[in-house]
Amino acid sequence: MGGYRLLLQVTWIGVIFSEMETFAVAAAHEIALPNCLDHCGDVQIPYPFGTSDDCYLNKDFLINCNQSSTGRDQPQIGSFVIPQISMEGQLEIFLDLAMVCYQESGMLSGYRPSGLLIRTSTFTISNTENVFMAVGCDTFAYLNGKQNNGNFSMGCMSICQNESNVLNGTCSGIGCCQVEIPKKVSNFSLQVGSYSTNHTKVWSFNPCSYAFIVKKGLFNFNSDNLTSLQNNRNLPMVIDWTIGTETCENAQNKPEYVCGANSTCYNPENGYGYRCSCNKGYDGNPYLRQGCKDVDECLHPDLNNCTSQKRCSNTEGNYTCSCPKWHRGDGRKDGKGCALNQRLVNKIAVAGGVGFIVLLISSSWMYLIIKQRKLIKLRERFFRQNGGVILRQQLSSQENSVATARLFSAKELKNATNNYHENLIIGEGGFGTVYKGFLSDNRVVAIKKSKLVDKSQIEQFINEVLILSQINHRNVVKLLGCCLETEVPLLVYEFISNGTLFEHIHHKDRSLSISWETRLKIAGETAEALSYLHSAASPPIIHRDVKSSNILLDCNYTAKVSDFGASRLIPLHQIEVATLVQGTLGYLDPEYLQTSQLTVKSDVYSFGVILIELLTGEKALSFDRPEVERSLAMYFLSAIKEDRLFEILQQNIWTEKNEKQLKEVANLARRCIIVKGEDRPTMKEVAAELEGLRKIDKHSWVNVDSNSEETKYLLGETSDCYKYDAFVHSSVVYDSVKDHTIVAFDGGR
């Protein structure tokens, strides 16, 4: 019984929430007569029902709004509590059970019949929503009433011998009986009794017999009901109600007819009168004079069938759908929908197509003209920013000079590099990207695209371009010119194709192929180039980033000093320049690192490290070596001090014939890397000393190595230098943080 009570409570709560939801939806519509209560507690009271005079249709529809034991208003019709009234012609009531009970001796202890106190044909038992039930093991029950102006009775019988015969959940006549109710039963009452005279055989498990009408699905029989059902005094049932006792056809012609505007009268299957309902497209209370109001179906997608909610238009009692521009149809999902008006579209398309083509051609021409003008202005602005006017004036004053820098156009270099295609990138470093380019005169060049330019140093940059372009030394990479029409200036150099000295020394596949004679030749040519920059150039030039990866080699293994991105000009009558420290660790002058005073002796130190690389075949700085050997210069000095020179030399360069020469070069390298700069030799002295060693080697014909690269070349053997790109190998070698560190500098390009 506890479960049944819970079910009843849940049902009651559901009814309340359902009513609240219905009220929220219909809040915009009147449901009661003016100045009449439309609610009693949580229950809506729609007309024809009412709670006071002049608020209901007739006395059959009078609702008493009384306070319950909980203090809340509670609607009643007669003595029956009403939890819900529906304008669709139904109301719910709580109906007392009819029952008869006995004492253990078999004597009658109580009898309670049940029936509808309002005896009128306005109300009939809902035959679709209810069932008639009897519960007991010695029980018969009757449902009495009126049907079609005649008396009506129906019965239900339930018998069981003992409690174990009862089957929970079924009402087949054993402990519980269930009967469907026919149509149009009104003025009903319930009667219940027992077959036995004393009821003693079943009293222990069934002291009472019960009869009741209940809403379908709200009562589930079990054996506990035989002893405890009397505790549940009220069960919900559904009553159908109608207006009067006449059909629509008769009532519509009489003044008492109550269906209001925009409503329809209909005859229900269960009942003796008629009911009203709002026409399609309207909502509200059809029993009021103006109760049915138009529904805006376009506000509720589930109420309209338009293919697009944006093209739904509400009308009185209905709605219309439309199609978008250039479409035809009714715009309804259940109709023709919307289809493109192809004929009209074709005409518009032809006209629009012609106009579009004309507009496109005109716009394209205008766009190209505007873009070209903007590009020209942008190039002119960059040209001025990058000192192009100053450089042009300087070049015009040097027309009679043997060699001058050329000003390349942005378009010319763009064509030379196939719009700077990534496949033509031959090097990337700290200062920029280098591309291989092919000029219109079939010359192969290296085009350096810098990352940054210091606008405050434009005048110095122009001066350096002029000076570097006039350096005509066989061991210095030639600067052919520049382009100033881009945001960052582009420098154009001659292209050297046989890799870098770094690669030839340190690449596993090539390091053993370069002989000592060739190494000495490269060292001498590099020294001559640096000596020229320090002594013969005006003003003198400090390279500031001398290292083996900046020494390029051509097909004859001729050395070419490159990459003047960090170079500085030394003003006349000065021997040093104060700058922020910049260079590559391993080659960096320790005195310059400590004082920031840049001198030509800084290049001497870096060259000394290159000589040690040529001797040992080891990198200038490597974190792969033990800590004491990490700096090649320090490791070399330690080996010289301990008289271990021949232990650290590269294995393929030492022979008994060149032992003295190797010692002389090692001693020269040691002097170049002396910590105190003024104790180091000048590059002019270094170049002279190396040239002297080479001349001794050349005159010692018995010492000529028949396997040297120079001999092979002189004998006509073909070189494979064109397999390599110098700038590619340069970038590959020094992209490792382990081997290369760039220190910030000022004034570089």
3 state DSSP class of 67 = strand
Tell me whether residue 312 is in a domain: no
At how many degrees (to 10) do helices 659-672 and 683-699 cross? 180
Distance (Å, whole) CA 92 – CA 605: 109
Please, are residues 122 and 60 in contact by the beta-carbon 8 Å criterion? yes
Q: Where residue 560 sits, what CATH number does that domain have? A: 1.10.510.10
3 state DSSP class of 595 = helix
Distances (CA, A) of 397 to 30, 95, 386, 392, 466: 102, 121, 19, 9, 11
pLDDT at 69 over 90: no
Q: What per-residue confidence (pLDDT) applies to 730?
A: 40
Instruction: Select from 50, 69, 87 the last residue of a domain.
Output: 87
DSSP state of 249: H
Please, are residues 67 and 52 in contact by the beta-carbon 8 Å criterion? no
Count other Cβ atoms within 10 Å, centred on residue 128: 13
511 pLDDT tier (thresholds 50, 70, 90): low
Say whether 449 counts as a known binding-site residue.
yes
3 state DSSP class of 299 = helix
Instruction: Select from 40, 64, 87 the last residue of a domain.
Output: 87
Host domain of residue 213: 95-233
433 - beta bridge partners?
428, 449
* Residues 596 and 667 occupy one common structural domain: yes
Which residues, 6+ apart, have CB-to-CB distance to 667 below 8 Å? none
pLDDT at 608 over 50: yes
Q: What per-residue confidence (pLDDT) applies to 738?
A: 32
Q: What per-residue confidence (pLDDT) applies to 7?
A: 41
Query: 737 or 7: which carries more pLDDT confidence?
Result: 7
Q: Where residue 484 sits, what CATH number does that domain have? A: 3.30.200.20
Tell me whether residue 242 is in a domain: no
Tell me whether residue 9 is in a domain: yes
Q: What per-residue confidence (pLDDT) applies to 749?
A: 27
115 pLDDT tier (thresholds 50, 70, 90): low
Q: What per-residue confidence (pLDDT) applies to 721?
A: 54
Query: 629 or 671: which carries more pLDDT confidence?
Result: 671
For residue 182, what are its two tokens? 């026919």
Q: What per-residue confidence (pLDDT) applies to 388?
A: 78
Q: What per-residue confidence (pLDDT) applies to 681?
A: 96
End-to-end CA distance of the chain: 96
Domain count, the chain: 5
17 pLDDT tier (thresholds 50, 70, 90): very low
Helix %, strand %, coil % of the chain (to 5): 35, 25, 40
Give me the half-sphere count of Cα atoms (radius 13 Å) on the Cβ side of residue 691: 12
Q: What per-residue confidence (pLDDT) applies to 144?
A: 92
Give the residue-averaged pLDDT of 55-75.
89
418 - beta bridge partners?
none
Distances (CA, A) of 645 to 230, 511, 610, 670: 119, 19, 16, 11
Q: Which of 38, 60, 294, 545 is catalytic?
A: 545
Residue 355 backbone phi and psi in degrees, to 5: -65, -40
* Residues 711 and 648 occupy one common structural domain: yes
3 state DSSP class of 385 = helix
* Residues 226 and 117 occupy one common structural domain: yes
* Residues 507 and 490 occupy one common structural domain: no
* Residues 142 and 7 occupy one common structural domain: no
Q: What per-residue confidence (pLDDT) applies to 454?
A: 65
* Residues 141 and 112 occupy one common structural domain: yes
Give the residue-averaged pLDDT of 736-745.
35
pLDDT at 14 over 60: no
Query: 48 or 404: which carries more pLDDT confidence?
Result: 48
Q: Side chain identity at 416, as an amino acid letter? A: A
Query: 321 or 536: which carries more pLDDT confidence?
Result: 321
Tell me whether residue 333 is in a domain: no
* Residues 116 and 57 occupy one common structural domain: no
* Residues 526 and 665 occupy one common structural domain: yes
In whole numbers, what is the pLDDT of the chain averaged over residues?
A: 82
* Residues 55 and 118 occupy one common structural domain: no
DSSP state of 20: H
With tokens 């069934």, the residue in question is 206
Q: Where residue 106 sits, what CATH number does that domain have? A: 2.60.120
Q: For 406-439, how does the pLDDT look when each residue is reduced to its tens digit (9 = 90+)?
A: 889 989 999 999 999 999 998 776 667 889 999 9
Q: What per-residue confidence (pLDDT) applies to 636?
A: 94
**Max Cα separation, the chain?**
154
Q: Which residues of 408-444 are buried (b: 16+ CB within 10 A; e: fewer)?
A: bebebbbebbeebeeebbbbbbbbbbbbbbebeeeee
Q: What per-residue confidence (pLDDT) applies to 705?
A: 43
For residue 292, what are its two tokens? 């049915």
Torsion angle (degrees, nearest 10) of CA 613, 618, 622, 623: -150
pLDDT at 19 over 70: no
Tell me whether residue 580 is in a domain: yes
Distance (Å, whole) CA 226 – CA 159: 12
Share of the chain above pLDDT 90, in %: 46
For residue 275, what are its two tokens? 């009911």
With tokens 């059809």, the residue in question is 286
* Residues 439 and 515 occupy one common structural domain: no
pLDDT at 18 over 60: no
Distance (Å, whole) CA 623 – CA 638: 18
214 - beta bridge partners?
131
Q: For 494-507, how does the pLDDT look when each residue is reduced to its tens digit (9 = 90+)?
A: 898 888 899 899 88
Active site residue 42: no
Please, are residues 81 and 93 in contact by the beta-carbon 8 Å criterion? yes
Tell me whether residue 471 is in a domain: yes
Q: Which residues of 688-713 are buried (b: 16+ CB within 10 A; e: fewer)?
A: bbbeebbeebeeeeeeebeebbeeee
Which residues, 6+ apart, have CB-to-CB distance to 105 below 8 Å? 198, 200
* Residues 430 and 287 occupy one common structural domain: no
Q: What per-residue confidence (pLDDT) applies to 578?
A: 57
Query: 139 or 749: which carries more pLDDT confidence?
Result: 139
pLDDT at 94 over 80: yes
Q: For 128-139, how does the pLDDT look when each residue is reduced to its tens digit (9 = 90+)?
A: 999 999 999 989
pLDDT at 10 over 60: no
* Residues 547 and 474 occupy one common structural domain: no
Q: In what order do the strands lie in the sheet with 98-102?
A: 108-112, 98-102, 208-215, 130-135, 176-180
Tell me whether residue 620 is in a domain: yes
Q: Which residues of 139-148 are buried (b: 16+ CB within 10 A; e: fewer)?
A: bbbbbbbbbe
Instruction: Select from 468, 494, 520 the last residue of a domain.
Output: 494
36 pLDDT tier (thresholds 50, 70, 90): very high
Which residues, 6+ apart, have CB-to-CB distance to 327 below 8 Å? 338, 339, 340, 341
Give me the half-sphere count of Cα atoms (radius 13 Å) on the Cβ side of residue 623: 7
- Residue 190: which of 201, 181, 199 has the closest Cα? 181
Q: What per-residue confidence (pLDDT) applies to 576?
A: 60
